[in-house]
Amino acid sequence: MRTDLNQLLDGRRWLLREFPFRHIWAESVFAPALYEQMIAEFRHLLGAPDGHGFQRNMPGYDATGHSFRPGYRGAFDIFFSAEFRRLMSTVSGAPITCDMDAGLHHHRPGARSGRVHNDLSPGWFLARSSSPSPDATVNLSDSARCNYRSGETPEPGVEVVEMVRALALIYYLDNGPWLPGNGGETGLYLSNTVPVTEPASLVPPKDNSMLAFECTPRSFHTYLESRRTRNSPVLWWHRPKEDATSRWGEEAIASWPRGQRR
């Protein structure tokens, strides 16, 4: 199904910033009607019982989450469309495939800050030939059939492929009016050796705004502690591993800390 971005996008002023690394920041991203639909679905999932809504399944990350899985249809469909993927590839300059890992994150008031990291991490997916819908416009990670962090699969003979995160997007919604001092920003850093309390730049979690950046060895960022709730869909498009290693080398691909998912 074709997505008409002209009907769904609201603001047309997306800012490309170079400090402390290249990233895109935009406000009033989606049309009001779509934004309200996203809020309604987010709240519905947040209030659903465990196993159907949000779960505390991200060790080392002080948040609950809900993962999108193959076959998803709903208010967040725009993120998984071929049209939006092409738009994000064009504006970011990052070559991306249709392989995606995506979910919704919910930080409660007082949730602890994360650790500074760059998101240049591997991810395993079902090969298109093993996907139930090989012609789909998006190949969402499927934890029931392929472990995203290791490629392990409970089904013998299922073909999987290792990819690397290429483009990250954080979209902020249903957080209410934001003022300096509320916290909940995404901190951007020049290095992963500086204290988390000393970001080089801050991206506020303003409703209907987004942050996007190519995942590189220098795209250091993290969530910062908030005095209020912070809600955000978080998405990663991927690239073939050989593309990443040819550009930065095998050693630049960050391995997964044991027991953690970020």
What number is the average pLDDT over the span 122-136? 75
Q: What is the mean pLDDT of residues 70-78?
A: 95
Q: Distance between CA atoms of 163 and 100, rounded to whole angstroms?
A: 10
DSSP 115-165: --B----EEEEE-GGGSS-TT-S-EE--TTTS-TTT---SSTT--EEEEEE
Predicted model pTM: 0.94
Is residue 259 over pLDDT 50?
Answer: no
Q: How far apart are CA 227 and CA 113, in angstroms?
A: 11
Taking a C-beta distance cutoff of 8 angstroms, is the pair 102, 206 a contact?
no
Q: Across residues 197-212, what is the average pLDDT?
A: 98
24 in Cβ contact with 8 (< 8 Å): no
pLDDT digits (tens, 9 = 90+) for 176-204: 999 999 999 999 999 999 999 999 999 99
The DSSP line for 97-120 is -SEEEEEEEEEPTTPPP---B---
Q: Which residues pair with 230 in a beta bridge?
A: 107
pLDDT for res 25 = 97
Distance between CA atoms of 113 and 205, rounded to whole angstroms?
14
The reported pLDDT for the residue numbered 240 is: 96
